[in-house]
Chain A
Amino acid sequence: MTLSAYFAQIDPPTRTVTIYAPQPQPDVVDWFQTGVDAVDYRSLPDVTAASQSFFVIHEDDAFVAAIGLEAAREFLEPPINEPWADALDDASYRRLVEVFESTVWHSLERRQLLAVSREIENRAWRAGSGTLRVGFQNSDALEPMEAVYARLAAESALDIHVYIADDWDRPSIPGVTIYADGGDEIGSFWVLTFDGDGDPLRTSGLIARERDADGFEGLWTDDTQLVARLERALQAASD
């Protein structure tokens, strides 16, 4: 299967978000703009403090989670940390990431994709072993990440494979296998997979594609089978 075919058949559950707040929250609705199937607003009494606002996520009509708006703001307007940053270990942050996983996003910004990418690299870093595969649109995109991947490879037993669309004419990165000349199939997508070294709790994958000026659309998931298929599609793209 190609990356394009994988991307075309993403079929998520129906996900709805209901925001409970004393006043409507248009900026929160924007977070989810077309990222979920419906965003509803239900008022809390006027006297209620705005800090008590929360939202509830349902998937195919089943309750998934309720999250405070202030906690969610930290995730959806994220700081970008390096993979080994302690900040990513915060338990409630991690749970937030899990809740938002398996969501097909239609309006991801580069910054959010970076945050998700760091999250996947952080899982790999903490696992310390397993296979991490990363696609870069071109060598210019890989260049600023050289030091990060060199350190990931040097300080862990991770098996790291990097795919780029064009040539790589810089020195090789110790511990990192680079597959150059992947062409459009690699160049069109932002892809990361980590196999969790067999631990389904650490498995994670991201695929996203740039849409005009609107940012990116894509999916990230911890579903072992979806990640395995994405890995195979990424490998096939570089053959």
Chain B
Amino acid sequence: MDPEDLSSDGPRSSQNVIDNAFLALRNRNRRFMCYFLLEHETALLSELADVVSGWTYTADGRIVESQCRDQCYLNLQHTHVPKLVEIGMVWYDDDTDSLSLAPCPDPAREIVTRACAMETGS
């Protein structure tokens, strides 16, 4: 079985919450979306594309061009947002193009917080 399908029988048992949190965090783009949502709770998808591309590529002195950022936007829109919605980490409102971390259970937030400290801390 593809590990990405582990959560398909429902996101709410505590075992599934942990599985889904790690599923969310096993991809770098999804991790940085979650880190930013942890800070702001909601954000527009267009800003998340700015943040994910900016945060992941500028630290080593590179400049992120619009082409790179636009590719990131498409990846988030078509792959990573649907995955985060499917496993119950975020809500997505396609009228406003915004994401919210509201449905994310507390244990999953705790895991995101620790991952953020490990990956982006000094």
| A residues neighboring B (CB under 8 Å) | 18, 20, 42-45, 47-52, 54-56, 62-68, 70-71, 92, 95-96, 99
* A62 and B66 contact, CB distance less than 8 A: yes
Selecting from B10-18, B50-58, B87-95, the interface stretch reads B50-58
With beta carbons under 8 angstroms apart, the residue of B38, B61, B66, B122 that contacts A68 is B61
* Contact (Cβ within 8 A) A44 B54: no
Interface residue from A20, A42, A44, A51 paired with B122 (Cβ < 8 Å): A51
Smallest Cβ-Cβ distance to B65: which chain A residue:
A65
Point out the residues of chain A lying under 8 angstroms from B122, CB to CB: 49-51
> Which listed residue, A18, A20, A64, touches B55 by the CB 8 Å rule?
A20
Partner of A45, one of B35, B50, B58, B65: B35
Closest partner residue, chain A, to B53 (CB atom): A66
A47/B54 contact (C-beta < 8 A), A63-B70, A65-B64, A92-B63 known: no
Contact size class for B? 20 to 34
Residue ID in chain A nearest B60 by CB atoms: A68
Chain B residues within CB distance 8 Å of chain A:
35-36, 38-40, 47, 50-51, 53-55, 57-66, 69-70, 113, 116-117, 120-122
Question: Which residues in A have their C-beta under 8 angstroms from that of B117?
Answer: 45, 47
Q: Assess the B61–A66 pair: CB atoms within 8 A.
A: no
Are A49 and B121 also in contact (CB < 8 A) when A65-B66, A70-B61 are?
yes
| Distance between A183 CB and nearest chain B CB, rounded to angstroms | 42
